[in-house]
């Protein structure tokens, strides 16, 4: 049995990773399982524990770091986010494709640690910084200070795109999502 793909979907905060991820998963044109991360961030009104994230305390997160339970983890604007290692490995060993939707530091850790040829990485980029700002503001979930921090970080992150297998522009969700699905199908055919 072929090992499942490890699909990395990264890019600046607010670029629409979550929306594109939901789109490609809902299309059901390429089978994959979403890796639910652990975070110390407070849940947003629309979020459910165990669906978008496992929401945990700072202490519990630290315990998982100490026990080396994360494939990668990163601090992002004051909160911590991490990918549970054993879940990802078990699913891939069962032949399931696993999608990680993670920020750039975490993606770099995965790219440097996981060296098998069944890893495929996507960098989702916004059509412009103006659009990115508009998207973050539309979400209405962050304070002005947090918005400014996220934007500053996004600008610095833009130049990391070259480390990825594919750079996808999120001009329209359907177009970007369909492009990713097409690439995955081609990649898995080899
Ligand atoms: P948000 O607070 O908007 O849900 O997420 C903030 C950032 O953390 C987003 O860019 C999101 O993709 C990223 N993120 C979510 N889960 C993980 C994870 O497990 N590891 C890393 N490194 N980043 C994550």
- Identify any residues that bridge with 167 across adjacent strands, giving them in sequence order: 123
The pLDDT assigned to 158 comes to 81
Q: What is the mean pLDDT of residues 61-70?
A: 98
Mean pLDDT of the chain: 94
Name 47's Cβ contacts closer than 8 Å, sequence gap at least 6: 53, 55
> Model pTM?
0.91
Atom of ligand 1 nearest to the CA of 18: 12
- Identify any residues that bridge with 169 across adjacent strands, giving them in sequence order: 125
Q: What is the mean pLDDT of residues 128-154?
A: 86
Q: Write out the two tokens for 83.
A: 């990918």
Q: Given this structure, which CATH class describes domain 6-185?
A: alpha beta
Closest CA to 5 of 117, 87, 147, 110: 117
Residue ranges covered by each domain of the chain: 6-185
Cβ(134)–Cβ(127) under 8 Å? no
How many angstroms is it from 97 CA to the middle of ligand 1? 19
How many angstroms is it from 177 CA to the middle of ligand 1? 19
């Amino acid at each position: 049995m072929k090992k499942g793909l490890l699909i990395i979907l990264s890019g600046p905060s607010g670029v629409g990773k979550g929306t594109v991820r939901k789109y490609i998963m809902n299309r059901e044109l390429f089978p994959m399982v979403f890796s639910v991360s652990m975070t110390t961030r407070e849940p947003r009104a629309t979020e459910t524990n165990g669906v978008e994230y496992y929401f945990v305390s700072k202490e519990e997160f630290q315990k998982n770091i100490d026990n080396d339970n994360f494939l990668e983890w990163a601090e992002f604007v004051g909160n911590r986010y991490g990918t549970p290692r054993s879940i990802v490995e078990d699913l891939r060993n069962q032949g399931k494709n696993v999608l990680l939707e993670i920020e750039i530091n975490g993606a770099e850790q995965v790219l440097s640690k996981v060296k098998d040829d069944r890893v495929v990485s996507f960098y989702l980029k916004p059509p412009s910084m103006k659009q990115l700002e508009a998207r973050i503001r539309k979400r209405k979930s962050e304070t002005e200070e947090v918005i400014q921090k996220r934007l500053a970080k996004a600008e610095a992150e833009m130049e990391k795109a070259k480390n990825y297998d594919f750079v996808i522009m999120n001009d329209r969700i359907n177009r970007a999502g369909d492009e990713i699905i097409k690439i995955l199908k081609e990649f898995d055919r080899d």
